[in-house]
Amino acid sequence: MGEDKGVKKQVETLRNSIRYHNYRYYVLDDPQIPDSEYDRLMRELQSLEKKYPKLVTVDSPTQRVGAAPLKAFGGVEHAVPMLSLSNAFSEQELIAFDQRVRERLGIDRPIEYTAEPKLDGLAVSLTYREGVLVQGATRGDGASGEDITQNIRTITSVPLRLVGKNMPAILEVRAEVYMPGKAFREFNAQAGSRGEKTFVNPRNAAAGSLRQLDPRVTAQRPLAIFCYNIVRSVGVPLAVEQQEVFTQLKNWGLRVCPQNEVVIGSIGCFEYYHKTQDMRDSLPYEIDGVVYKVNQLDWQRRLGFVARAPRWAIAYKFPAQEELTRIQEIVFQVGRTGALTPVAKLEPVFVGGATISNASLHNMDEVQRKDVRSGDWVFVRRAGDVIPEVVKVVQERRPAGTREVSLPKHCPVCGSDVVRVEGEVVVRCSGGLFCSAQRKEAIKHYASRRALDIEGLGNKLIEQLVECGLVEHIDDIYDLGIEQLAGLERMAEKSAKNLISALEVSKKTTLARFIYALGIRGVGEATAQALARHEGTLERLMETDVESLQQIPDVGPIVARQISIFFDQVHNREIIHKLRKAGVQWPQHSVVAAQDTPLAGNTYVLTGTLEGLTREEAKRRLQVLGAKVSSSVSKKTTAVIAGENSGSKLSKAGSLGVEILNEKQLMHLIENV
């Protein structure tokens, strides 16, 4: 008996400790122990529960999966209806909303709103009794939904038991279940490679995953949750402000979106809207707008509802990122490495804030998988800087007489044979430098901002120069004279002069930039930098064999082979020779870099939006130099790198006295260590 009591206590202590660490991890985003330690606690609990099955309870952190598949979901009557929100699509509509609110309340000064990202997932309602999760339900028609408790239980950021004190006897919260963008892309890539069904967007992925009758399937899906409202709280007084609701939720261990804020008046709403729109692509979750709610809860009650939406809240939507249009024809574009990419020429459509008339179809496998044909009606998507793409064909609207696209046997630009390398999805023009499309792309890459950065030598001009025969290969750009340039259409003498001096300036570069500029397949900026650091000189790099190349961080066997093939080509060597003869140069390292990892021992945190590169790219480049990149700021952080719209991490850095670098300083750091 005594032993049993001891074990029971031990089990409870372990559970509480795991719950606390869940709270640190999911709610505060500030873990106190490493994952390995957490896993150890979990394993210890699992083994005790296995030995003493009687001690297992439904709210034990081990009990996320285990329920048997259902035949159908049960129905749930919502104690409080699940409403929807009215939408605003313009500043005027938002101003009108704010005016209506203040008129009804009889207030003529600006009032407080909470501003929250409008999460693009699936609305759910969670009910806790005495702190234990007892029900999860979908919205359904708002009055009743489906009982998805067993599926909700599999979501690791949903606590099975609340933490903290002063817990209501019954707590019902409203929340959004979503699939984080990165997890969504990984999931789709894996499902696609297994030939399984992929999802159109993270929202469909979340919905599809939650509506699985087998909770074990849901458990495999990387879902997460953000809670935003409390609709029932028996035994604990309701908060006074919406903002307080967030604090209450967090104190009970429920996850709240960190981007929620309080703003004042419509001006505050607009500022938040723009700030959030700018952040949109760097957020780890999808959003389709922002939501404003009157912050005072008694004002919310006074305002009440119309039909199925509250008068005290509104969703201000971002321009749609997906639209419907028709494919006029499918053509093949030839890239720098000769890769033939199928591209859909579209009936122009306004999407994601711009009019688009082309969308990438990536490769033939994708064309076949999606069964895309000329004349089809399709969903196209344009999100942020990402190239527009065809997401899905509307099969029901397929007109008669469409034909499947087939791969051309010859390059559409130079007529050379098209080849498919075994094991690769990509097909390529075999023309190499004979193909003007490949030459144009190679020159565009060489001149691009992150390569030799030749101002004034833009894509249009390069195309013109290649077409009229003034430039054939990269090195020819340094032979251009003012008269030749000024003779071109739309080129004034002033611009010609500027270009000549930009060409001169570009000659002073770094070895890493030069290697990147060569456009070797698989060699991005980070790899180029690793190569430069490791080899020290171009001569050495050109002579290094495949095995030695693979010793370099960031260089795998495939890239190593590409590098070696590139430098084995006589014409590539000739071009390099001519470029150097024209004066392209970089500081020579007299001693080969002794240390490949100059940033070893340093930890950086990236926050906000960077302009010139993505956070992922910045992370990789720091890692190549030996640095660690962490997601949370602590005293051990070497520096926080803050882009536009940096949030709480920046203020935390400030309060801990951690150094803060801007994007320029970051570039300086990675290019000069």
Q: Which lies closer to ligand IVH via its Cβ, residue 118 or residue 362?
A: 118
Q: How far is the CB of 122 from ligand IVH (least distance, A)?
A: 7
230 sits near ligand IVH (criterion: CB under 6 A): no
286 sits near ligand IVH (criterion: CB under 6 A): no
How far is 101 from 97, CA to CA, in rounded Å? 6
315 sits near ligand IVH (criterion: CB under 6 A): yes
| Choices 194-202, 310-318, 504-512, 524-532; region in contact with ligand IVH by CB under 6 A | 310-318
| Choices 47-55, 77-85, 425-433, 443-451; region in contact with ligand IVH by CB under 6 A | 77-85
Q: How far is the CB of 188 from ligand IVH (least distance, A)?
A: 22
Binding mask 126-155 for ligand IVH (x = CB under 6 A): -------------x----------------
Among 16, 32, 84, 166, binds ligand IVH (CB under 6 A): 84
| Choices 117-125, 211-219, 391-399, 543-551; region in contact with ligand IVH by CB under 6 A | 117-125
How far is 91 from 523, CA to CA, in rounded Å? 45
- Report how far apart, in Å, the C-alpha atoms of 654 and of each of 5, 27, 447, 635, 639 are: 48, 22, 39, 11, 10
525 sits near ligand IVH (criterion: CB under 6 A): no
How far is 457 from 504, CA to CA, in rounded Å? 12
Q: How far is the CB of 97 from ligand IVH (least distance, A)?
A: 14
Q: How far is the CB of 135 from ligand IVH (least distance, A)?
A: 18
Among 125, 127, 151, 229, binds ligand IVH (CB under 6 A): 229
Q: How far is the CB of 543 from ligand IVH (least distance, A)?
A: 58
| Choices 65-73, 308-316, 462-470, 645-653; region in contact with ligand IVH by CB under 6 A | 308-316
Q: Which lies closer to ligand IVH via its Cβ, residue 49 or residue 116?
A: 116
Find tokens 């961080």 and name the residue. Answer: 553
CA trace torsion 394, 398, 402, 408 (10° rounding): 0
Q: How many residues bind ligand IVH (CB under 6 A)?
A: 15
User: What's at 489, amino acid-wise?
Assistant: E
119 sits near ligand IVH (criterion: CB under 6 A): yes
Q: How far is the CB of 332 from ligand IVH (least distance, A)?
A: 41
Among 148, 183, 279, 313, binds ligand IVH (CB under 6 A): 313
179 sits near ligand IVH (criterion: CB under 6 A): no
DSSP string, 418-447: EEE-TT-S-EEETTGGGSHHHHHHHHHHHH
Question: Which H/E stretch holds residue 334?
Answer: strand 322-334
332 in Cβ contact with 425 (< 8 Å): no
Q: How far is the CB of 310 from ligand IVH (least distance, A)?
A: 5
310 sits near ligand IVH (criterion: CB under 6 A): yes
Q: Which lies closer to ligand IVH via its Cβ, residue 229 or residue 296?
A: 229
Within 26-45, the residues that bind ligand IVH by CB under 6 A are none
Q: What are the φ and ψ backbone dihedral angles of 366, each rounded to 5 degrees? A: -65, -40
Residues contacting residue 39 through CB under 8 Å, at least 6 positions apart: none
DSSP string, 363-430: -HHHHHHHT-BTT-EEEEE--TTSPPEEEEE-GGGPPTT--B----SB-TTT-PBEEE-TT-S-EEET
The yes-or-no answer on residue 118 being catalytic is: yes
How far is 192 from 363, CA to CA, in rounded Å? 13
Q: How far is the CB of 119 from ligand IVH (least distance, A)?
A: 4
Task: Give the orientation angle of helix 570-581 with respect to helix 557-568, to 10 degrees.
Answer: 70
How far is 38 from 294, CA to CA, in rounded Å? 40
118 sits near ligand IVH (criterion: CB under 6 A): yes
116 sits near ligand IVH (criterion: CB under 6 A): yes
293 in Cβ contact with 312 (< 8 Å): yes
Q: Which residue out of 5, 118, 370, 392 is catalytically annotated?
A: 118
How far is 578 from 385, CA to CA, in rounded Å? 35
| Of residues 261, 155, 170, the one with CA closest to residue 210 | 155
- Furthest C-alpha separation in the chain: 100
176 sits near ligand IVH (criterion: CB under 6 A): yes
184 sits near ligand IVH (criterion: CB under 6 A): no
Find tokens 């270009």 and name the residue. Answer: 499
List the beta bridge partners of residue 418: 429
123 sits near ligand IVH (criterion: CB under 6 A): yes
Give the interface with ligand IVH as residue ranges (CB under 6 A): 83-85, 116, 118-119, 123, 139, 176, 228-229, 291, 310, 313, 315
- Catalytic residue numbers read 118
